[in-house]
Structures are given as structure tokens and as C-alpha cells.
Structure 1
Amino acid sequence: MFSRSSGRSRLVFPVLLGLLLAVCGGTVGTGTDDKFNGTINIASSTWTGYAIIYIANTKEIWKAHGLDVKFQDVEDPNDRLIALTAGRLEGMASTVDAFARAQSNGVPAVEVFPIDASVGGDGILAKNTIKSVQDLKGQKVAVNQGSVSEWFLAQVLQIAGQVDVAVTWEPWLSKAKARADGVVLVSSKQYPDLIMDSFAFRKDFIDKYPATVKEFMKAYYDAFDWFQKNTNEGLGIIAKATSETADDVKADLDTLTLFDLKTGKGIMGTKSAPGKINDNVKAAADFWKAQGKIDSPVKPVDAVNADFINSL
């Protein structure tokens, strides 16, 4: 299976949790009237889908909204989650399925807005002797266990195994397509919104500083609007953040959907009419329980808070 290009491939750079904690130094500052006056520490892995965060960082859009945001690339999602739980991060980006697993295990993360969805950046690679998903019956599958790849595979297939089929991501997908003995059996283009990224804050931070969370989201969507008007400059910013070329970034963006505010509201839904993200949380939590990775699946109502996005 394939998934996201350079960034989303979850390249494991030698970023140690201890370094993260030392650099972040914990939360500094106090809030007044539910506004936080300290540094908001956030993190993500390197991934083209986090384009708007990179733009907000570079163009100082956080600062324009009166926010002091310190961003770090932290490739290992476990390091990010540990830092969030320890109070060293206020917020982080990750996949909805990863959040569901972590939330079920007690990580106090609450998703407040969706970021993107894979529409072709993830998929299942197979030997060219396998012509359809149905042909996978009885075959062996290779997948990175515990990853978004395992989650995607489980949603498309109901088989277990190891080798004739591989679950991977871009750019390995494109390279594999060029091989005479390889074929892309199915991709997330056929399953849009199944693999989704979101942004979450610590629950205690949300409870104490709701005005800051709302302002952060205003800044994010201002950065989104800036990108729509300054695409070429934006591609350069994203390319620098992901160590790709602007052309690579442009190609990556063709395999995912970046959610604008209107679409984000639809994805999040409301308390009376929950959106697609709630379905993904439940499906992922149920899956990880079936895999024995969690004991008690998180409830979507506890994992997602749509109030902020609906107030914008």
C-alpha cells in the first residue's frame, strides 16, 4: 500500500522525545479571560497535507492574530502524543485513526478541525499477477502494523498475511507503478475521506482557553485563504518545509484534499448531526479494539469538538 509523499511517509528522523521536551520547555505564561498569553507549542510530522500550518508559520499569520506559536517537526507520532499528554505540547496534527487509538488509551487530545483527506496518496500495491481486490483472497500482505496503512488496508480488505501485496505510500507508489511486475490495485482515490488528518488540542487547554483555540483556528483559515491567493509562493513555502520541489508539492496536493472552512464544518458536523469525522473515529476505535491495541474505544463525542469550527 502506498500513502503520502515524503512527509506522510512518516520518515523517522532522529528526533528524540527528550530533545522535544527540552526545546519546548513546557507551557509558559498564564491566561486571562480564557485567552492564553504564553507560547503555544504545536507539532506534526513532515507531510504535504500540513501545508497550511507551514504557511501560517512562515507568513507569521499566528502572530498577526496575537498568538505566539512554536512549531516543530516531530516525526514519531508516539513522541508527539507523549509530549501532548505531558503538557509539553498544546496541540498537534495527526491522522484521525491515530488519534482514535491514542484517545482510547487515555491521551487527552480533542480534535477541533479537520485538515485534509487522502484522495489517491495511499493505496495497495500488488504483483501484476493480481488483477483485482477479489484476487487477494488467500494471498499474503505486508503492512506496517499499527500505522495508518494497516487501518486503510483493514477498511478495504478483510484478509491477513504478509508478502505478495504491500501497503505503502507516495513516492514509492509512483516508483512501483513504473516496475514491470507491480500494479496499483486500489488507492484512497476510490475511498475518499477514509484517511483523514485533523488537529487536536489538549482537553485541559481547550477547557481553560477556548478563546485562544478559536483564534488559532481563525489564523489557520486565514492562512488557507492566503494560499488560495498566493499559490506559487505558497508552493515554495511548503516545498521548503517538506524538503521537496515545488513541482513535487503540486503533485502531492493532487492526491489529497485540503479542507477549507466550509468543507471543514461539514466534516465536523454538529452535536445534533455529527459529521464524517465521527464515523472515522468510531470505525478506527472499533478496529483498534478488534486488533487488541485498546481496551475501551473512545466515543466520538469525547474525541471531537465541533463547537469551535461552527462558531467561525
Structure 2
Amino acid sequence: MFFVTRTAPSVPVALQSDSVSLLRKVMLGAALAVAANAASAATQLNVGTVVWIGYGPFYVAEAMDMFKKNGVSVKLQVFADPALIPAALAGGSVQGAMLTYDQVIGQVAKGMQQKVVMPIDYSNGGDAIVAAKAITKVADFKGKKVGFNPLSPSDFLLSYALSSNGLSDKDVTAVNMTPEAVPAAMASGQMPIGVTYEPSLSQIVKQGGGQKFHVVYSSKNAPGLIADVLVFDDKFIKANPKDITAIMKSYLDGMAFMKAKPDEAAKIIGKFMGVSAKEVKEQLPGVYNIPLAEMPKAFVKSKETTSYYASGAVIGGILKAKAQIDKIPPTEATMDAQFVTALQAK
């Protein structure tokens, strides 16, 4: 290659021109490659999550490179405490989040513009209040210590169970702890009642050969009230619709894989959750992952608690009664159904 410098040997003008043109092309190509790599790194999306059996399709999608196949770079960022995820989403450290619908209502009531773009699942026994065998009903909770994570689905489930049985939060002694800490606290004997979800739920029930603790009340008693949802900030939704669609497609691909290859999927999910494939299969009935065909129901007005309009009214009422929100936000402000609608049309 000939470089034109003051000390370069004399060469024909045409050759000089060709050389300069070639050099420019090489440099431009290199610059574009660097820019492309930088853009690729910059566009990785962090999605906040917790270890929860209902998020299995997402775990499969990450392990099987389904996000990449759908044209988006996604990293699932695991939080030990689900209550920390909304703030992370608001602060921008994660671009998307897997939350429960009660969390979304709480955030929107505070002025945040976080919206549900897709229903993921609803708990069907995967969240529960467990207690010592001698405690047989919710009414027996009165005056006792209950371990749970405040401002979380566990808190909400407990409040709903108490109010449905003529009690209130004031009738129990709340002990602040993460869902993962509940099994050890109950095993030590310091906590007769705990509220948690899988896999911690199964760990508690199996203690003492299954003779120490049992489920007194679960999300199966209130279908749809603990609903897991995929959430993004409204500004991100408007700026990145293709990425959101790709993430949703990856979730659906993960669901399809779970159905087609249940054994392999159970191993993948178990590895992510830190449990065996056998335990994954035992826990899966505790959730209902919503297929695309049923997703629109969540966004439509209905008296069924699987609709956000119905469940939102109940959830909002409890949150307001607990002074966690000043007013119940309009259901429409908590969701954006355009992506589900578009996917269904394809």
C-alpha cells in the first residue's frame, strides 16, 4: 500500500488517488466495526428478576440464546429482594422488570410511568402462608409472629388473607425478612408462621419429613391476585418497541421449549433457581404461565380477578387501606396492551 507523505517516493497521481481512496475505505470500515461493537455493547438490556418458578420461560430463553435469535441482547439481573426492583427500574439500572401487579399499582400511584406490556403468570399456589401444624386456619394467626417481606407479594397475600377472615394487619406481629430467610427462621422455631414463595415454600413444607409445617392459605385461594408481569417505563416503551417485542417473543419461545422438551427445560430452570429438575417439576403446578391466546383477557374489563381491572380494584383497595398509596390509579395507567395485540395479529 502506498501512503502519501512528504517523503514518499514519486508515484503516478492516479495511483496516489487510488491509495488514498483505499486507505479511507479501510479506516472507515474499521471505524464502523468499532462503532457497531460499541453499539452492541450499549444496547444490552438488563431486566430485573427474582428466582421464581413462574419466570421459567425467561430462564430458558436466556440459556438457549433465544433473546439473541430474536435480535435483542438481554441480561437477566437477579435481585434477592423483589421490593428493590421498581426503584432499579425507575433509576435506569435495569431497563425492564418482572414484577407483581401490586408493585406496578404502587409505583404508578406514586407518579411513576411503569407499565405492564405482557402478563407472565399468576400464582396458583406458588405463594403461600405456611404455619406450624397446630395452626390450622387464618383465624389462628391472631397474636402470633409472622415472618414476611414488607411491601412485597407476601405482604399483599397476608393482608388479603387476614381481611378475608375478619382480621387485620394489627392482629399479628410482623417480622421483617426476605422470602429466602423464612425457611431457616421457621426451622429454628422462632417463627410459627411465614409467608413466602417457591422454592422457599417447598423447603419449609418438606421440613421434618413434612410433619412440621403445612400451607394454611395460598394464592390458589385468590386466583389472579398475585400476577407476575413484564414491565417497562413508558419512555422506554416509546423509544424501543422492537426490543420489547423481541423480549416477548423470546418468552413465548421459552414457553414452547418447556412444552416440547420438559425434561431439558426443567434442568435449565433448576440450574438458574438452584434446585433439582425434579423440584422444578414439583413447583410448576403452583403457577400458570399465560399463553399468548389468553393474554388479552388481562387487559379487558371483567369481574374475573385474572383481569387487571378486577384484581387491581382489590389490590388498590388493600394498598390504600394500608396507607401504602394515597389513591388508586386508573387501571389504564398501569398497562400498555399494544404489544400483545400486535403479536396476536401475526
Matched, 1:125 2:130: yes
Matched, 1:167 2:195: yes
Contact 2:144 2:192 in 1 (8 A): yes
Q: Quick one: which amino acid aligns to residue 197 of structure 1?
A: D
Inter-partner Cα distance in structure 2 for 1:297 and 1:89:
26
State the one-letter code of the partner of 2:92.
G
Equivalences, count: 277
Check conservation: 1:52, 1:227, Cα contact below 8 A.
Answer: yes
- Provide the residue aligned with 1:17 in structure 2: none
1:130-187 superposed Cα distances (whole Å, 9 cap, x missing partner): 4434555x54351423221221122222223127644344124413685656443222
Report the 3-state secondary structure (helix = DSSP H, G, I; strand = E; otherwise coil) of the residue aligned with 1:106: coil
* Secondary structure of 2:206 counterpart: helix
Show the counterpart of 1:140: 144
Distance 1:80 1:29, change over 3 A: farther
Contact 1:53/1:220 (8 A) holds in 2: yes
Structure 1: state its 5+ residue gaps: 1-27, 31-36
Structure 2: 5+ residue stretches without partners: 1-37, 174-190
Matched, 1:286 2:317: yes
Does the Cα contact within 8 Å between 1:127 and 1:183 map onto a contact in 2? yes
The one-letter amino acid paired with 1:304 is M
1: CA distance, partners of 2:208 / 2:125: 13
Query: How does the TM-score come out when normalised to structure 1?
Result: 0.78
**Per-residue CA distance 1:236-291 (angstroms, 9 max, x = gap):** 110111111101111111211111111222223379x9961232233223322211
Q: Which amino acid aligns with 2:233?
A: R
Match of 2:73 in 1: 68
1:7-18 correspondence runs (5 A):
none
Question: Which one has the bigger helix percentage?
Answer: 2
Shift of 1:191: 2.2
3-state SS, counterpart of residue 94 of structure 2: coil
- Give CA-to-partner distance per residue, 1:283-312, whole Å, 9 cap, x none: 223322211122233221111112211221
- Structure-1 separation of matches of 2:217 and 2:289: 21
1:224 to 232, 248, 255: 255
- Cα deviation, residue 129, structure 1: 4.2
User: Taking every aligned residue pair, what percent have the same amino acid on both sides?
Assistant: 26
Cα distance in 2 between the residues matched to 1:68 and 1:165: 42
User: Which residue of the other structure, out of 96, 104, 114, is the alignment partner of 2:101?
Assistant: 96
Equivalent residue letter for 2:292: L
Out of 72, 77, 81, the residue aligned to residue 82 of structure 2 is 77
Aligned match for 1:262, one of 280, 293, 296: 293
Q: Specify the alignment match of 1:301 in structure 2.
A: 332
Determine the C-alpha separation between the residues in 2 that align with 1:109 and 1:56.
23
CA deviation string 1:30-88 (max 9, x = no partner): 9xxxxxx8222212012221101111111111111111222221223343222211223
Asked if 1:53 is matched to 2:81, the reply is no
Residue 91 of structure 2 aligns to which amino acid in structure 1? A
Q: Distance in 2 between the 1:38 and 1:57 partners?
A: 16
Equivalent residue for 1:186?
Answer: 217
Question: Is this contact kept in 1: 2:58–2:250, CA < 8 A?
Answer: no
Alpha-carbon spacing, 1:177–1:190, altered in 2? closer, same or farther (3 Å) = farther
Residue type at the aligned position of 1:167: V
- 1:44 maps to 49
Equivalents in 2 of 1:247, 1:72: separation in Å? 25
- Seen in structure 2, the aligned counterparts of structure 1 residues 184 and 202 have a Cα distance that, compared at 3 Å, is same
Deviates more, 1:63-72 or 1:261-270: 261-270
TM-score (norm. length: structure 2): 0.71
Partner of 2:112: 107
Structure 1 84/248 Cα, relative in aligned 2: closer, same or farther at 3 Å?
same
Residues 29 and 80 (structure 1), Cα distance of their counterparts in 2 relative to 1, 3 Å cut: farther
Q: Secondary structure at the match of 1:103?
A: helix
Counterpart of 2:160 in structure 1 is 155
RMSD after superposition: 2.8
